[in-house]
Structure 1
């Protein structure tokens, strides 16, 4: 080899080495042009992920592999159950269903997001309807339904909130990036979550890359008008609990430092039981950093916060005894049994009750899921990834269990996720709507009894 060739080869190797070393230095120090390449990489990976799932909704997180061939109600011990209907949402469609104890659909509310969307919405290019579902829904006494839409194939994934009447006509729409959860106040206001990307760095938290999702707590009037909006992210970073962000630092590559996922508005009885805060405060779970906080929306401050023996949980609820009930998605850490439901004392962090299912059929839902303590002391559990609802006694006996009968795939191998199961007392409904449900219940019962 001629000397000039050797020199050129060494020159190329030296340049490549310098580029490689410079790339490492830029990545470690995050100086320019790191933001350009970082954003381009994230955009490319997001686009790739969207393209892979958009062609097949069954590959999104709205569907899971079915764990059983059983369908509908598979356990029904009527004498031990809390009577009533059960409301839930499902990943198979933009729908909320109300079923009786036998699993018959007594009523449903179904409106595709494409009919809710307007060009004034925060999301300008929504995904297809089969990639969107109602993440959470709550029933009003008059038969109206308030629901949150989210997309499984977009970021921000919060798509909006809507009130539907009993015939699924739109009453009002609020098309900010609402997501995950909401609650109703005693006077009919709606307290929920929104998020949006921001390029504004957080002072003192330079390790959080921009842009990132900033989380907000919003309050709407009963007719869907925004009354207030406060930044949970700013409240956290301006409080002593901001240090919790460092616990989640490895997650920040996902540009979602808090991932607020739950809202529990506290009235006078809740506050008296909890012994912390004032009526109107809101309990919020920040899943990404495993921090449960109590927020005063008026003062725009965090009143109280706690880390506990849980991991990536959902749906904390204050109980009449002052304890908190929640679905602990990843905190069980037992073989083949990731999830559990826990009740704990917020003043001591002691777990006073838990349920993780039998060894043959354990709870296992890494994301989503909800819990509700019923009037008879039982607990209604929505195991989202299992596509099932179950009611268990304090002793852990399953007295009612429902597995979604809906399947998809070439061999019916997929089941839609379920979300936000709630037991509805017919006595809590207005007489006109209650009579409508009772009539439908008689009809389906007669139909089911025919040979």
Structure 2
């Protein structure tokens, strides 16, 4: 019996693909790779402060990443704790430690840094948490999510957390998810107007927080999101998000779980564009991690994280570039098998500030 599995670059339509360089890392690895359109590694960073999931390039060409530390809560998913910036040559030029930090963080133009952190609920608050699998708290504890903004000295200058009565009353944990986390926020996106866009996985919920008032000014819950990731504001004001389609029967009526990428108009809550596999929905499915990026050409770069697959589609859904991470390694917190999972991937054009005159 013959088994064929392709890795690396598997498809490239040079006329339709958006030219540039793609940045990604294997989950729980210590390398971050920048590849060209042919799938060749043109630059590599080696992390020195722990394994990494999340990373992106700043406009000065520095690599910003989140690295895992051993200290802090024992929650496995998305655990980080060390935020670092490496220059192009791999030297550490900035660092902030918070052993409760997880999943996502961003450097801001004013020098501040915003990130997601676990925050332990009190016993009284924990009793208000609805949903989830019974008796799956972490050593009897439940952690909500705090969005923290720190200045260049590391002092907290702003914080928002989902630990208030109105939130407890309105949002419950997915019944198939453990009760150790009340929220499982996995994305914090700074918006053009200074507000923050947040993704809460176990609520199938996207929200916008007014930074000035600390109030929610947009709430979008749709259980067809299925534990979504990587929400972001587009230049047209719409929201792009990877809808994992996990633990939900709502993708079809009835039908299996499968993933999609949605563009949502926050003024109307209408899904104005979506991508899914039209040939077989199950050809495109990642129950966890994953991401998306709207490119300047109008195409969309998609990271199907659980398969290590990164691909680009046109507005009509035609695949014009595909790459599958060929680098496997251990992820002992999750599995005894080696994995090639990719949390997110981002593409940068050759004339972008991140890349220009560097490659």
| TM-score with structure 1 setting the length | 0.67
Q: Which runs of 5+ in 2 are unaligned?
A: 132-136, 331-336
Instruction: Give 3-state SS (helix, strand or coil) of 2:43's partner.
Output: strand
**CA-CA distance at 1:158 after TM superposition:** 3.1
**CA-CA distance at 1:207 after TM superposition:** 5.1
Larger relative helix fraction: 1
Instruction: Give 3-state SS (helix, strand or coil) of 1:78's partner.
Output: coil
C-alpha change, 1:78 and 1:252, in structure 2 (3 Å) is closer
Q: 2: CA distance between counterparts of 1:224 and 1:357?
A: 47
Match of 1:216 among 141, 146, 152: 146
**CA-CA distance at 1:319 after TM superposition:** 1.9
Task: Work out whether residues 294 and 304 of structure 1, in 8 Å CA contact, stay in contact via their aligned partners in 2.
Answer: yes
Task: Work out whether residues 161 and 173 of structure 1, in 8 Å CA contact, stay in contact via their aligned partners in 2.
Answer: yes
Task: Work out whether residues 148 and 158 of structure 2, in 8 Å CA contact, stay in contact via their aligned partners in 1.
Answer: yes
C-alpha change, 1:407 and 1:89, in structure 2 (3 Å) is closer
Q: Which residue number corresponds to residue 426 of structure 1?
A: 350
How many residues in Structure 1 have an aligned counterpart in Structure 2? Answer: 332
Q: Which residue number corresponds to residue 134 of structure 2?
A: none
Does 2:308 correspond to 1:382? no
Task: Work out whether residues 242 and 261 of structure 2, in 8 Å CA contact, stay in contact via their aligned partners in 1.
Answer: yes
Q: 1: CA distance between counterparts of 2:153 and 2:226?
A: 33
Instruction: Give 3-state SS (helix, strand or coil) of 2:326's partner.
Output: coil
Instruction: Give 3-state SS (helix, strand or coil) of 1:225's partner.
Output: coil
**CA-CA distance at 1:414 after TM superposition:** 4.6
Q: Which residue number corresponds to residue 318 of structure 2?
A: 397
Task: Work out whether residues 151 and 159 of structure 1, in 8 Å CA contact, stay in contact via their aligned partners in 2.
Answer: yes
Q: 1: CA distance between counterparts of 2:105 and 2:4?
A: 31
Match of 2:179 among 249, 254, 258: 254
**CA-CA distance at 1:217 after TM superposition:** 0.7
Instruction: Give 3-state SS (helix, strand or coil) of 1:79's partner.
Output: coil
| TM-score with structure 2 setting the length | 0.82
Instruction: Give 3-state SS (helix, strand or coil) of 1:436's partner.
Output: coil
Q: Which structure: larger Rg?
A: 1
Instruction: Give 3-state SS (helix, strand or coil) of 1:243's partner.
Output: helix
**CA-CA distance at 1:390 after TM superposition:** 0.3
Q: Which runs of 5+ in 1 are unaligned?
A: 1-66, 115-132, 268-278, 438-451
Q: Which residue number corresponds to residue 354 of structure 1?
A: 274
Does 2:64 correspond to 1:141? no
Q: 2: CA distance between counterparts of 1:434 and 1:320?
A: 22
**CA-CA distance at 1:90 after TM superposition:** 1.0
Q: Which residue number corresponds to residue 263 of structure 2?
A: 343
Task: Work out whether residues 198 and 206 of structure 2, in 8 Å CA contact, stay in contact via their aligned partners in 1.
Answer: yes
Task: Work out whether residues 262 and 315 of structure 1, in 8 Å CA contact, stay in contact via their aligned partners in 2.
Answer: yes
Does 2:225 correspond to 1:310? yes
Q: What is the aligned-residue RMSD (CA, Å)?
A: 2.9
**CA-CA distance at 1:281 after TM superposition:** 0.7
Larger relative strand fraction: 2
Q: Which residue number corresponds to residue 202 of structure 1?
A: 125
**CA-CA distance at 1:160 after TM superposition:** 2.0
